[in-house]
Amino acid sequence: MRKLITEEIPAKVVADTAYQSAKKNSNRQNARIEHDKALLRVMAAMITDDTDLFKQFSDNESFRRWLTDMVFAQTYV
């Protein structure tokens, strides 16, 4: 689970084309908006592979905020 959260999810988010474009061509605020959308797409794609993580992300606001902030900090460089 730790590897999924700290490595696999950020790798999928950073590979998102819209997020890459926002990082290169826009400011931090717009990049954050695209990041959040990319993370939602990544998490939605995981619903069949890791239902518990998706449920935690969907139902637990503090977990969702923590994961979103952590992945953004890790990928916005």
pLDDT tens, the chain, 77 aa long:
889 999 999 999 999 999 999 999 999 999 999 999 999 999 999 898 889 999 999 999 999 999 999 999 999 98
Tell me, what's the pLDDT at 39?
98
pLDDT of residue 17: 97
d(CA 2, CA 60): 18
pLDDT for the residue 49: 85
pLDDT at 1: 86
pLDDT at 71: 98
Domain positions in the chain: 2-75
User: By C-alpha distance, which of 61, 75, 62 is closest to 16?
Assistant: 75
| Tokens 């139902």, located at residue | 59
- 3-state class (DSSP) for residue 37: helix
